[in-house]
Structure 1
Amino acid sequence: MAFDYKKEYKEYYAPAKKPAIVQIPRMNFVAVRGKGNPNEEDGEYKKALNLLYGIAFTIKMSYKGTHEIKGFFDYVVPPLEGFWWQENVIGVDYEHKETFQWISLIRLPDFVTKDDFDWAVQEATQKKKIDFSKVEFFTYEEGMCVQCMHIGSYDDEPATVKLMEKYAEEQGYEIDINDERFHHEIYLSDARKCAPEKRKTILRHPIKHIK
């Protein structure tokens, strides 16, 4: 049976509908940076998703070809994630999605090295005849965070964020979003197929101890 990160690491991918504190370790990702409204038809964000999944599945299916990845095991491709921010905005301004800047990500298994990643980019470029130059091997250690499962539309996230902020303060923390730590979303539902009111999205914010 394929290794499923969502099932094996429930503390990261299956939080409760109430906030909790979690320590997020160092992870590697396939990532694409961009800006603009993610809902724009044929926009930069949707093009980025094609690039992400192109590399993610090239690596997943590598065992069927000639490239051998040391330590490889069969796995389910982890869910899509995103870091989001806006210049000169504290928190998130959902009324002006055109000002979003983002890093869209998919987690890579720990056995995937930078050399394996570079091979996947070359392989996908040759097979799909697509420019993958925007894709990067991204390593990130998120550290201490508050997170919560959000059920519903992305536009309704502020209510869940308020609960997270309140809980963090009660535990002696404050939100620590800055130029290196971001508003983080992990998408457990396919927005193309799931009704907005039923979407499951993990919301995660970095925190620090209140001085």
Structure 2
Amino acid sequence: MIFDFKKEYKELYRPQNSPEIISVPAMKFLAVQGAGDPNEREGNYSKALAALYAVAYTLKMSCKGAYRIEGFFEYVVPPLEGFWWQEGVQGVDLENKASFSWISVLRVPDFISQKDVDWAVAAASAKKKTDFSEVKYWELEEGLCVQMTHVGPFDTERDSLDLMERFLLEEGYAEDFAPGRMHHEIYLSDIRKVSPVKWKTVLRHPVRPK
């Protein structure tokens, strides 16, 4: 059976439509860091996603070629994720997208190493005749967080974020933004095929007990 992160870790990828506290373990990612409006046509963000997927599928399909990854098993490429922040802003200002900095990521299985990512970047770059060296191997342990699934367009996320903030006040927690602890989104819907009113996005913020 092909391993699917969404099915094996439902607490991380299928949270409720209401806030909950969760401890997020250490994970491995492919990551590209950049800045600017994600909606800009052919901008930095769209180029970052193209690079991420090129390297991700090179790793996934490595079993078909000569390169061997120790401990490899077949898996589904997980949903796209993004970490977002803005200078001088606690959380995010959704109305000022041009000021975003971001790290776009795709999770990889724990058997993937820095060496494997280096190989995949080189292999994908050669195959596509494009420089994908901006794709990096990244490890992160988010720790204690609040999360929920937001249903609807990205521009209405503030409704869910406000709900999360009220929940934290009631439960005795506070948001805990810091380097490495950012506004986090996981994109569960293919926005090319699904109506915006049905988009599902996991929203996750770092927290600490008051």
TM-score tier by shorter-chain length is: over 0.9
The 3-state SS of whatever aligns with 1:162 is: helix
How far apart, in 2, do the equivalents of 1:192 and 1:47 lie? 17
Does structure 1 residue 136 correspond to structure 2 residue 136? yes
- Structure 1 segments unaligned to the other structure (5+ residues): none
In structure 2, the residue matched to 1:45 is 45
In structure 1, the residue matched to 2:194 is 194
How far 1:89 moved relative to its partner?
A: 1.6
In structure 2, the residue matched to 1:32 is 32
Query: 1:56-99: CA deviations, max 9, x gaps?
Result: 10000000000111111111000000000111122221211111
How far 1:104 moved relative to its partner?
A: 0.2
In structure 1, the residue matched to 2:82 is 82
* Residues 59-68 or 175-184, more deviating: 175-184
What percent of counterpart residues are identical? 56
Query: 1:148-195: CA deviations, max 9, x gaps?
Result: 000001010011011111112222210111232100000001122221
Does structure 1 residue 207 correspond to structure 2 residue 207? yes
* Residues 187-196 or 55-64, more deviating: 187-196
Query: 1:119-172: CA deviations, max 9, x gaps?
Result: 111111111111111111011000000000000010100110111111122222
Does structure 1 residue 115 correspond to structure 2 residue 115? yes
In structure 2, the residue matched to 1:73 is 73
How far apart, in 1, do the equivalents of 2:99 and 2:62 lie? 37
How far 1:29 moved relative to its partner?
A: 0.3
Question: What TM-score do you get using the length of structure 2 for normalisation?
Answer: 0.98
Q: How many residues align?
A: 210
Whichever residue aligns with residue 41 of structure 2, its letter is E
How far 1:48 moved relative to its partner?
A: 0.2
Whichever residue aligns with residue 202 of structure 1, its letter is V
The 3-state SS of whatever aligns with 1:26 is: strand
The 3-state SS of whatever aligns with 1:127 is: helix
Over aligned residues, Cα RMSD in angstroms?
Answer: 0.8
The question of whether the paired residues in 1 share the 8 Å contact of 2:91 and 2:182 is answered with no
The 3-state SS of whatever aligns with 1:207 is: strand
The question of whether the paired residues in 1 share the 8 Å contact of 2:82 and 2:184 is answered with yes
How far apart, in 2, do the equivalents of 1:38 and 1:163 lie? 25
Does structure 1 residue 54 correspond to structure 2 residue 54? yes
The 3-state SS of whatever aligns with 1:205 is: strand
Question: What TM-score do you get using the length of structure 1 for normalisation?
Answer: 0.97
The 3-state SS of whatever aligns with 1:88 is: coil
Query: 1:19-59: CA deviations, max 9, x gaps?
Result: 11111011010000001110110000000000000111000
Whichever residue aligns with residue 75 of structure 2, its letter is Y
How far apart, in 1, do the equivalents of 2:87 and 2:191 lie? 26
How far apart, in 2, do the equivalents of 1:167 and 1:107 lie? 28
- Structure 2 segments unaligned to the other structure (5+ residues): none
